[in-house]
A = this chain, B = another copy of it.
Amino acid sequence: MQKELRIGLVGYGFMGRTHTNAYKRVNDFFPELAYRPVLQAVCGRTEDKAQAFADQWQFQSCETDWKKLIERDDIDAIDIVTPNDQHAEVAIAAAEAGKMVLCEKPLARTTEESLPMVEAVEKAGVPNTVWYNYRRVPAVTLAKQIIDSGKLGKIFHYRANFLQDWTINSDLPQGGAALWRLDAKAAGSGVTGDLLAHCIDTALWLNGSIKDVSAVTETFVKERMHNLTGKVEKVGIDDACLFHCHFENGSLGLFESTRYARGHKALYTFEINGENASIRWDLHDLNRLEYFDHSDESIVRGWRTIHITDGDQPYMDHYWVPGLCIGYEHTFVNQVADFLKSLETGEPCHPTFRDALETAQVCDAVLKSAAERSWQSV
């Protein structure tokens, strides 16, 4: 008989859907787990919307005050999917109440805001994780395994980008429930915290720490109508951010993110070049990994396109049969599975708050470098 893990979800936007879906699917695909998530409560300030979400996804109850949610005895874990400016307060309170805490990325708006969160969960000793879900794309996990196996040898280059095009239209407003990502107050930053943070989390995981960075940011559309005030206001976020960096292992990093790359919807790609082999990956085609192995016989050497759908590839023994794709949502299912597993083993479920703090530090250094037009140490 599986043990219940009673979830209290704070927020119900896009990430509310992806997390909830994951809680509902995980035991179907990972029946061996000792824990079973229960959708105990969803919390949102607007009662009718929170209730509608609860009805659609079958939460057992609904709250409008997150503090009350945290006080409830029948909640084991608090999952935070609010805009970024509310992560810290909720997470710290939850940890202090002894709840496990799962927090949507980025951990918070800044390092300054993130650090107390890390301290809170560590002091409370509660299980915690941050939803940098792309680590759990099977192809990305396989990349990690390949790198850890030593196949790449010394690393020379890491490059990643996350390209979108959805904010090119200058008539798009900023702020509010749907567009808080364009509002610097709610989001903290623009593409840096939203998109580059993903790229940085993966890079730190695959290639180790970053020493220093040199960045440039741009805000192409300087003013947008604000949904909450109804007024045209200055845009405070970065529309695009590019940086290069040194990793601790001596390799050079190159990162770019923008929402002004016409033709790209959510093109997260990375490539890592080692002495002996290279790897690349693309979110638009997430079931594939490309791999080049210089030790192949020279006349038949080339980039391999690996369709990551076989049972011996990460996570894929839990899904279908070779050749049949999984999708974006399964990255969250996999993360819940790993989180539940971590409750059994007592091992941390990475990225923990502590891990995510390093991403915040890189993001801060990037933004400072862009502001000051100088190299910044991380």
Contacts and interface: CB of A to CB of B under 8 A. Distances in A.
B328 A266 contact: no
Nearest to A246: B216
Interface stretch (A4-12, A287-295, A336-344): A287-295
Report copies per complex.
Answer: 4
A60 interface: no
Contact of A292 (B27, B263, B303): B263
Interface stretch (A63-71, A96-104, A317-325): A317-325
Nearest to A310: B298
A18 B293 CA distance: 31
Given A256-B159, A306-B300, A307-B302, A265 B322 contact: yes
Given A373-B214, A374-B374, A302 B310 contact: no
A106 interface: no
Contact of A329 (B264, B291, B320): B320
The secondary structure that dominates the A interface is mixed
B14 A28 contact: no
Contacts of A326: 327-329
B303 A240 contact: no
Interface in A148-207: 151, 156-157, 159, 164-166, 168
A273 B89 CA distance: 39
A157 B258 contact: yes
A254 B283 contact: no
A275 interface: yes
A75 to B, nearest CB: 22
A274 to B, nearest CB: 6
Contacts of A289: 302
A306 B301 contact: yes
Contact of A299 (B55, B250, B313, B319): B313
A14, A265, A310, A325, most chain B CB atoms within 10 A = A325
B299 A262 contact: no
A277 B262 contact: yes
Nearest to A325: B327
A322 B296 CA distance: 17
B304 A304 contact: yes
A142 interface: yes
Contacts of A144: none
Nearest to A320: B328
Given A28-B56, A305-B305, A156 B266 contact: no
A234 interface: no
A285 B283 contact: no
A347 interface: no
7 contacts: A14-B320, A165-B294, A290-B302, A301-B306, A305-B305, A320-B329, A324-B327
